[in-house]
Structures are given as structure tokens and as C-alpha cells.
Chains A and B, each alone.
Chain A
């Protein structure tokens, strides 16, 4: 019975601790607010149905619970990209701010500019992650968990209730990466003036590169092809095709679908691969072989007509 006073004291101490800490901000920081009226957001991906809130039983795998475990530190309790860590991401050093889901504007889509991405686009984005940003690849999560998270992403913006995602653009089969294709792509790069931002060698040093800002007003840099690193929205030729034919919404990168014919688009893809001088691609090899046999025949890119 000597034990009793110790237990009582510890008991009281634990009660005091609980009461004292309860009203502090520590609790509030992890509350999730949802702006949409309905909680019944769902996603349908790969034959799975993802749920944002489930049946309200607080199942640990539904989107809201997973969001709270994995996503809230950056994307914030309101889904607007203002997580507690977001203020430390410095855009001037190349750290993009976290995505604001409340706008319903996404970079990596297979749908035309101005339209919502498909659920598969969002699923691929979180599976792949975004290179050179703080957004990791969430592949170790199960497919069901990722589907639930996509439902949660949708729950943050009323746009998903008002609109349907657009129809994905049709990508024709890739043409052969011949020298003619590459040279035609080079002409397009010059004529459409991609170099204004990306620079004549694709280094991201074009005349307009330093003043670029994203829709939120944060500085943003154009992709530097010479690094050879993976694109934000994938790494294959198909992904590259999609990038300039749908544009990266929310950034200065526009859609060129009105101005480039689908067959011509492959020519541009092949040329862009030759700008990635540190990556061993067949396009680069073809182009370099041709250049060796035809030295000094190409007009430099970026000479504007007076």
C-alpha cells in the first residue's frame, strides 16, 4: 500500500498534462478542413475505388487519414499548399512550392490546357513523384492507398464536382527518329521561339528565363535540357510529347496543340532529345553522327528577323 501515493501523484500529473496541453495550437495544426460540401469524393483507378472519407468510421486507410499521415506537412490542412514546412521551400533556389489543390490546376495531365486531369494522371503523378522537388515517389504505398489519396486530392476543390476531366489527347504513334525529323524539329524550336525561355541550347537561359513566374507569383525556371534529368511529368518520349501538347498548367509553359500538328510534334520531341547532351539517347547519337558529316551547315537558333 506504500505504492498508492506514487500512483496517485503520477495519475494527477498525467491529468494535468493532458488538460494543460489540450487547448494549445499543437492540436489545431493537424486538423483537416475540407471546403467542398460533400464528403463523398471517390476515385476510380485501375479497377479500384478510392475514398476520401469512407463511411465516417475513421478507417485508417481512407484518403483523409492517409493525407494526414503523409501529405499534410507540405500541402497543409486546407490542401492549399500551405503546410507548416511549405514556407521553407525557396523557389529562388529551385524548390517549387507544394501544389494548391483547391484551385484544381495541375501540371502533369494528359488533357488539354484548362481542363482537369484524369484520375490516372494524378495517380501517375504521386507514384512517380516530381524530380528535383520535395515531392517524393509514393510507390511504396499500396495502389488502394494511392487511389484513396487521389480521392482526397479531389475533395479539396469544388471544380471536381462542377466539371468532368477533359478527354485525354490522342498521341499518334511515334515517327522514326531520323535526321530529317530532328532537323525539322529544330526548325520548329526556332520558329515557335521555344528558345525565348529555354535558350538556344536548351540551357534554360533564354532572354525571358529570368523573369518567369508561376501563377502564384513565385519565380520559376524553365527546364534545362542539358542536365538530362527526368522531366517533371515523366521521362519517356510520350511524356515529352504530352508536356508541350497539353502545357503545364499553373506555370509559364503553354500548350502548343493549336500550333503544332501531331506528326510535327514527334519531330520536336526528337530534336529536344538532342538538347539533352548528357543523356545517351538514340536521337542524340543520330544527330551527332550527322553533325560530324555536315559541319557548320546549320543556322544558329534564335536569330530573330529584324
Chain B
């Protein structure tokens, strides 16, 4: 596996300047940060705000009380969230709070970033004039930029009724609703019965919305969005979904479960495609391991369906009438382990899409020869090193391997499609740091720097900023890397 990363001197050429930059930033940060233990200094991916300084202002707690490093929650913060944004100390109602408290926060990250993707189809003569052919080229962009913007409000409407509303914009200001829900907490006076209704993030043990990566190539978990080449499935485990969720937790949130019923539209509003429903089940259990801290492991299963065609009128599809539903699932387990200052977040996933979905064939039509249901296995291990509550170093290694392609590598019949065995396989690697110069209850600021590199066989890596065309060769390993540095702030 290592050989796939060490791709001869090309890799060195690619990695060296970027990693030198990252490494020196980190080293210099250490040298010039006063290193006394009790004293430290100190996307383009649409930033998902999941740190709400309004809560810190309301309760007088520092950001570090609820977050390992915002936006990632620690288990005290997770318990607060599980209780419906309540500390359960008879002091949660906002009615008689200090009028300077209002439960709205916003987050955006001005940044500089650079993307570089190879094996892209590029005209040999720009403009495509006479004699120009498509060649295997490299596409690169860099400059100062803004991330997406989040305007989040969440809290309690009433004792044991909480809410969240998150209008979110991309960097041009075009808005959508990332989440919007009402949650009835502690129903029947039991913390095991909480009912949430609306659009919300799935109860993933390892949350993509509250993680510590922002770059184009690193700011998502490949596994949470992967579908094989040619698959018509629109699902992503990291996408917020529309539906209803029943969840519960023990008094300190060491045991947690959730069961959801969701619409099969991957969280898209307006009933765009279908009349199907998915379900999602999760369970996790934490235990104390002496002085190492709290360890948690969990399991999850997403079982869903997607339509393969829809009703039509005069040949044109009618919106929202998707039929021919075929199923798919994503199952696996994950963990959150602490060893001293290190946090390890491993995840394993097995994905499987029905053959009609995998080959984008309407279910009322015959399958092409050799068609099979694609399935794949993948996993990642993410590591955080919390030098102090104000400095966290991060890295992640992620691999996806197709177990079975939709079509075999040699055509089953003359003229039938074929897919190379390794097409779509992904290797992804990210490294970065977040430094919080202030750890104040009023607002949050972090200097975020990150380097990510993704290799995808025969396809453009997810979020790689290429020109969008498939690579010239279906077996070429397409490399895309991102360098990102920005000031992540929320108020």
C-alpha cells in the first residue's frame, strides 16, 4: 500500500514544497509558542458551524468545556447536546437570561487555498484551435478565497423542547437550509426518549459536520460520500437528511442509540425525486479506561432505497414521482479513543448498492450483460493530538477499495461494458493543525492550516477541483492535492 503513495519522484515533487510549508509552520509554532504546560499561546468546503459561542456566553463556560477543539465536541458537550442544549440545572430557560444573550452564531473562514489535479483532459493548444488534441494535463488553481458561511441558531424553545435552524450559504451567498428541526427532549421524563423532526445531521459517532478539516480535498470523508463509477445513487452518509429520529442516551451519555426514518432524497427539499424511505440505526457505548480517558465504540447501519426511473408525461419525467425503488446499504462500526493527548477515530464501512442502482438501469428494463451489484469496503483512521486546549494537530488516512464492480473487468459479452477492478479506489491523506489564539467565552477564532492529497483510480477525486471531465485513462491514478490556510472564526 505504501508504494501507492510513494509514486516515484512525482510524489516527492508534489508533496515536498507543500509539506515543507506545513511542517515549518508547525515547527515554528512550537518554537515561538511558550511551551509551559499550563500556558500556551499559542473550503472552500462550506464551513459547517457547529460551535455556538452563544452557549458559552449563556452559561459562562469557556469553549474548551464543551469542545475538544471547536467544532469537535467532547463528551461533556455531547451530553449537553443530547439533553437538547440543556445543562439540566434549572437554569436553561432563556426567558430571564441577560438580554445580551441571543442564540445566534455565524461562522466563515477567509482563506488562501491551492488545488492541483493531474490526469485531466486538457487541450494541447488552449482554445482548441486547429491541430489541438486532448492531452493528459495538470490543472492548478490558487488564491485568496472565502469559505461558505453558516448562520446558526439553536437552543431551547421551552423546557425540554429544543430547536436548530441553520441557513447556510456557499461562498457566493447562495443559501440553503443545512438543518432545521424541533426536538422533543426527555419525553415521558426519560432521557431515553427524544424525538426529532425536520432536517438534521445523522447521528454519526464521527461527525463530518463537527470535524477539523476544511480544505477541498480534506474537508470531507471520502467514505461518507462515495458512490462507484456509473452508480445513480445520490446518497451520502455525511449529508443532512430529512425525517424523524428517535434517540436516547444514558445519564452521562455513555450509552447512546438512535433510530431514524428518512426520506430517500438525501436531504433535498421540494420532494425532487421519489417517494421512498430510508432508515438509519446507530448505537454506541463508552467506558472509562483509567487515566487514559473515555473510550467509545459504536456501530451503524443505513438501509435505504432510491428510485431508478419515474413516471412521465409525454416522455418528460414528473418531479417527485420516482419509482422502481431499489435498495442499498451502508454498514460498519467506528470508535473514538483517547490515549493521553491523542484521540483516535477509526471507522470501517461496507457499502452495497443494488445492481440497478449500480448500473444506472431503470428497473423496468433489462440489465446489460455482466451487470452486478457494486460493493466496497473502506475505512479511515483519524488522529488528533491536543497539545493544549488551544492547539490541535490532525491527520487522517483513508482508503476505499471496490470489492465488486458493477461490471467485470473483461466484458461478459461482445459490446458489454467493463470496468477495471480497481476503478474508483481512493487513497486519501490529510494533515493539518488548528491554533486557537483566544479561548474566550464570547467568540471563537482559529488559524487553520491543512494539506490534503487524494488519489482516485480512473475518476476525479471527490471535491478535487479539476475541470470535471473524466481522466483520459480509466486506470490512471488521478492525484488531487489541496493546501489550505485560513482564519476560521465564529461569533
A and B pair up: yes
The complex places the Cα of A90 from the Cα of B29 at a distance, in Å, of 39
If A72-B62, A136-B61 touch, whether A26 touches B32 (CB-CB below 8 Å) is: no
8 Å CB contacts to A: which residues of B34-65? 34, 36-42, 56, 59-62, 64-65
Assuming A6-B142, A133-B89, is B25 touching A88 (CB within 8 A)? no
- Any chain B CB within 8 A of the CB of A283? no
Report if B331 contacts A (CB, 8 A).
Answer: no
Task: Provide the residues of chain A in CB contact with B40, threshold 8 Å.
Answer: 27, 30
* C-alpha spacing A56/B254, complex, angstroms: 30
**Min distance, Cβ A207 to any Cβ of chain B, angstroms:** 26
Contact of B34 with A27 in the complex, beta carbons under 8 Å: yes
A11: CB under 8 A from chain B?
A: yes
Minimum CB–CB distance for A192 against chain B, Å: 28
Task: Assess whether B437 is interfacial by the CB under 8 Å rule.
Answer: yes
In the complex, how many angstroms separate the beta carbon of B169 from the nearest chain A beta carbon?
27
Task: Return the contact of A73 from the options B39, B96, B142, B441 (Cβ within 8 A).
Answer: B441
Is A74 within 8 A of B60, CB to CB? yes
Cβ of B112 < 8 Å from any Cβ of A?
Answer: yes
> Least Cβ distance of B186 to chain A in Å?
15
Question: 1/0 contact trace for A53-68 toward B, CB 8 Å?
Answer: 0001111110011001
Given the interface contacts A15-B28, A18-B28, does A60 sit within 8 Å of B76 by beta carbon? Answer: no
Distance A225 CA – B76 CA, assembled complex (angstroms): 31
State whether A135 touches B89 (Cβ < 8 A). Answer: yes
Question: 0/1 per residue, A142-160, Cβ < 8 Å to B?
Answer: 1111000000000000000
Q: Which of A11, A14, A132, A142 contacts B288 (CB 8 A)?
A: A142
Q: Once the chains bind, are B290 and A144 in contact (CB under 8 Å)?
A: yes
Q: How far is it, in angstroms, between the C-alpha of A229 and the C-alpha of B89 when the chains are bound?
A: 10
Q: Measured between C-beta atoms, what is the minimum distance from A91 to chain B in Å?
A: 13
Q: Is A89's CB within 8 Å of the partner chain B?
A: yes
Q: Tell me, rounded to whole Å, the shortest Cβ–Cβ distance linking B88 to chain A.
A: 7
The answer to whether B293 and A61 touch across the interface, beta carbons within 8 angstroms, is yes
Alpha-carbon gap, A3 to B25, bound state (A): 16
A131 within 8 A of B: yes
Contact, CB under 8 Å: A142 / B293: yes
Contacts of A19 in B (CB 8 A): 32
Q: Is the CB of A84 within 8 A of B441?
A: yes
Which residue of A7, A26, A135, A140 is within 8 Å of B437 (Cβ)? A26
Question: Within 8 Å of chain B (Cβ to Cβ): is A130?
Answer: yes
Tell which of A32, A73, A141, A229 touches B62, judged by Cβ atoms closer than 8 Å. Answer: A73
Binary contact track B244-288/A, C-beta < 8 Å → 1, others 0: 000000011110000000000000000000000000000000001
Cβ-defined contact, B253 with A140, below 8 A: yes
State whether the Cβ of A138 lies closer than 8 Å to any Cβ in chain B: yes
Is B12 interfacial (CB-CB < 8 Å)?
no
Would you call B89 and A136 a contact (CB within 8 A)?
yes
CA distance in complex: A132, B142 (Å): 52
A81 to B20, CA, bound (A): 45
Q: Does B485 contact A (CB under 8 A)?
A: yes
Residues on B with beta carbons closer than 8 Å to the beta carbon of A135:
89
B85 to chain A, nearest CB (A): 13
Interface centre among B37, B64, B294, B341 (most CB of A within 10 A): B37
Known: A6-B142, A74-B61. A130 touches B89 (CB 8 A): yes
Q: Which of B59, B76, B293 is the most central at the interface, judged by chain A CB atoms within 10 Å of its CB?
A: B76
Inter-chain contacts of B224 with A (CB < 8 A)? none
Asked whether A134 and B288 contact (CB < 8 A) given A18-B29, A59-B340, the answer is: no
Judged by a CB distance under 8 angstroms, whether B78 is at the interface is yes
B485 touches A10 (CB 8 A): yes
Q: State in angstroms the CA–CA spacing of A295 and B293 once bound together.
A: 59
Q: Which residues of B contact A18 (CB under 8 A)?
A: 28-29, 32-33, 41
Contact B60 A88 (CB under 8 A): yes
B437, A64: Cβ atoms closer than 8 Å: no
Across-interface contacts of A139 in B (CB, < 8 A): 79, 251-252
Assess the A7–B28 pair: CB atoms within 8 A.
no
Would B21 and A10 count as touching, CB distance under 8 A?
A: yes
Please state if B65 and A69 are interface contacts (CB–CB under 8 Å): yes
Can you list 23 A-B pairs, Cβ within 8 angstroms, ordered by A?
A: A7-B17, A14-B28, A18-B32, A22-B33, A22-B42, A30-B439, A58-B37, A60-B386, A68-B389, A70-B65, A73-B60, A74-B61, A83-B60, A88-B60, A131-B89, A131-B91, A136-B59, A138-B76, A139-B79, A140-B76, A140-B253, A142-B294, A144-B290
